[in-house]
Amino acid sequence: MEFRMPEYTVNYEVNKQDPYPLLSEGMRRVIDYQAENAKDAFVTDCSWDELRAKYVQERRFWNEGGPEAFKTVETTVEGPIGPVPVRIYYPDDAPVHHGLVFIHGGGFTVGSVDTHDRMMRSVMASSGCAVIGVDYHLAPEAKFPIPLYESAAVTRYFHEHGEEFGILPDKMAIGGDSGGGNLALAVNLYLRDVFGGNDYIAALLLYYGSYGMMDSASYRLYGTELDGMRKADMAYYISCYLDPEAHDEENPYFVTLNNDLTHGIPATYLCCGDLDPLLDDSRALEHILRVHGVRTQFDIVPGALHAFMHYGRMMDEAVQCLKRSGEFYKSVVEG
């Protein structure tokens, strides 16, 4: 008998269950709509300008409706490679508000304050705070750590100069979705470690973020072409974000689970769908924070794919999570 290794290929997708039968009613409506109206929105075999334009067009539909801002203000904050555009959403005409810095997702490569407009208005309404949207420069043109530095610069600026915009300097929050969730946690850690403390950050609002788990049960079970979250998709976005010559694959301000999470972490809200490959990232983070005495709230949404919080026009779950996250921050401020 001859023992030898047969020819083989590594396949991360073949054992995954078809997620469609597991979707909630609202999530299924979203997927059916996308199949008819935006099936090529996330395909990357085109130029960056085309990809970003498709993403903007696809998100335009989902941003219709929702709470209205009393006013918005456009400004810029100086960053390491030039001005960073910022949009501030105000819920009412009160003279001062607490401030939430919101960092949008999109795999670090697409997205803007426009593509996440409804999400920011929704958190503004439920929290009663002013939401400060950061239009950081995108990869691959601006690789890590530039988006981190820019988001930290915006947060520091409004802590130091917020009174000029009617924003209180203390009890601020930082939030973000997906890649923006990664950046939100990283900004909090960066402010703690580099700028003499982050006592003015009172809360983190983290929606289905990536915190460094490159393999886990949820990675193996979930993530398909329905949400653009196959292992190859995520590897592609990371390759655009990280400079291979910098060797930042384990950098604790990118892989935030590698950082010291035993101190300097404020009250934290987390939310993730139970069909999201990033679910175990949130599970691990929430467990670590809870063990170290951090106040947490973790909502796991049945039948929801990655990025579901964009889809409030068809998914009550998205509306409710944005409402609960804003109420969480409001309770921290008032507590």
Q: What is the 3-state secondary structure (H, E, C) of 102-128?
A: EECCCCCCCCCCCCCHHHHHHHHHHHC
Residue ranges of the domains in the chain? 21-334
How far apart (Å, rounded) are the C-alpha atoms in residues 9 and 311? Answer: 37
Q: Write down the pLDDT at residue 53.
A: 85
Q: Write down the pLDDT at residue 12.
A: 84
Q: 99-103 and 130-134: which strand pairing?
A: parallel
Q: Give the active site residue among 126, 127, 151, 178.
A: 178
* Residue 98 among the catalytic residues: no
Q: Write down the pLDDT at residue 306.
A: 97
* Residue 178 among the catalytic residues: yes
52-100 pLDDT tens trace? 888 888 899 999 999 999 999 999 999 999 999 999 999 999 999 999 9
- Residue 299 neighbours by CB under 8 Å, 6+ apart: 269, 270, 271, 272, 321, 324
Q: Give the active site residue among 276, 282, 310, 325.
A: 276
Q: Give the active site residue among 97, 116, 159, 306.
A: 306
Q: Are 42 and 50 in contact (CB under 8 A)?
A: no
Query: What secondary structure letter does DSSP report for 199?
Result: T
Fold of 21-334: Rossmann fold (3.40.50)
* Residue 247 among the catalytic residues: no
Q: Write down the pLDDT at residue 1.
A: 82
How far apart (Å, rounded) are the C-alpha atoms in residues 186 and 255? Answer: 9
How much is the mean pLDDT over the chain? 95
Those residues of the chain that have pLDDT short of 50 are none
The b/e string for 105-128 (b: 16+ C-beta within 10 A; e otherwise) is bbbbbbbbbebbbbbbbbbbbbbb
How far apart (Å, rounded) are the C-alpha atoms in residues 102 and 204? Answer: 10
Q: Are 148 and 253 in contact (CB under 8 A)?
A: yes
Cα-atom radius of gyration of the chain, to the nearest Å?
A: 19
- Helix count and strand count (H, E) for the chain: 9, 8
Q: Write down the pLDDT at residue 123.
A: 98
